[in-house]
Amino acid sequence: MFLLSKIFWLFAQPLSLAFLAAFTGLLTTAAGLRRIGAGLGLLGALVLFVSLFTTTGSYFLQRLEDRFQRPAEPPLTLSCIIVLGGAFENEVMASRGGIEFNQAADRFIEAATLAKRYPQARILVSGGDGSFSGTYDGDAKASAAFFAAFGIGPERLIREEQSRTTFENARNTEELLTENGLSNCALVTSAFHMPRSVGLFRTLGLKVTPWPADYRTSGTVTLGFDFTQPSLNAQLTTTAMREWIGLAAYAYGGRTHSLFPGPAEPAATTDATPR
């Protein structure tokens, strides 16, 4: 399933779709199917224009980011801080050493801040190697050096090093929480990723305090044209599309109980383990 999802996304992301539509359009035109070829070419151009020159991606990413807020009043105590991986540049670190982050670095910065605020809380980092090759250290393993640099000892860390998807994050984290007798946990991940993550944890019967980080939008985006930052628009569109597809796939597969989990939903009680 992991490899299938990776391969699917290679073709499903907006720029790939635009290229495939244009390329298929050329082939069908060459085969004499000019109307179909023209339609596919137009579709490719439309996908490309929306991705590059509109705020569509930002708008739908913002909807995800606005779904969960941090608590107005921080909890008095926490027994654990769950951090979902995806922030380390593991391939770069493997060849150059040191600690290198990508755009999701706020996940770990926020986790370190919480660890200082709640010195008794354990820190559970969930993240294995999500690359095709599987030859790099995952975020859970790489995080030890990061937290040590902030004076957070290894005895506070629980490392879940096997997960490659968000579903595996939740399932493997559930097992470790049970093994260590932990509850009353904060969940730290990117704000746009929080609805899917919380939905998965709820399906497993785990109640967590959402603690979103790594915001990518201003919170004031409206639908419209934007010709000033096409590369950023394409990146935000890709991120938004991937997350919405993930939400739909997990809801369809029964891994979450709604398409767009929100703060008002109670934790689900079910005897069935999602597949």
pLDDT tens digit string along 221-238? 999 999 999 999 999 999
How far apart are alpha carbons 7 and 153 in whole angstroms? Answer: 39
Model pLDDT for residues 155-211, shown as the tens digit of each residue: 999 999 999 999 999 999 999 999 999 999 999 999 999 999 999 999 999 999 999
Please, are residues 206 and 197 in contact by the beta-carbon 8 Å criterion?
A: no
> Could you write out the DSSP letters of every residue in 160-182?
E----SHHHHHHHHHHHHHHHT-
Average pLDDT over residues 61-67: 98
Average pLDDT over residues 84-94: 95
How far apart are alpha carbons 152 and 110 in whole angstroms? Answer: 13
Exposure string over 34-52, b if 16+ CB within 10 A, otherwise e = eeebeebbebbeebbebbb
Grade residue 130 by pLDDT with cuts at 50, 70 and 90. Answer: confident
Of residues 216, 215, 205, 212, the one with CA closest to residue 68? 212
How far apart are alpha carbons 172 and 113 in whole angstroms? Answer: 24
Of residues 89, 136, 83, 137, the one with CA closest to residue 111? 83
Tell me which residue has tokens 């984290």. Answer: 173
Please, are residues 189 and 83 in contact by the beta-carbon 8 Å criterion?
A: yes
Average pLDDT over residues 73-87: 96
Grade residue 268 by pLDDT with cuts at 50, 70 and 90. Answer: very low
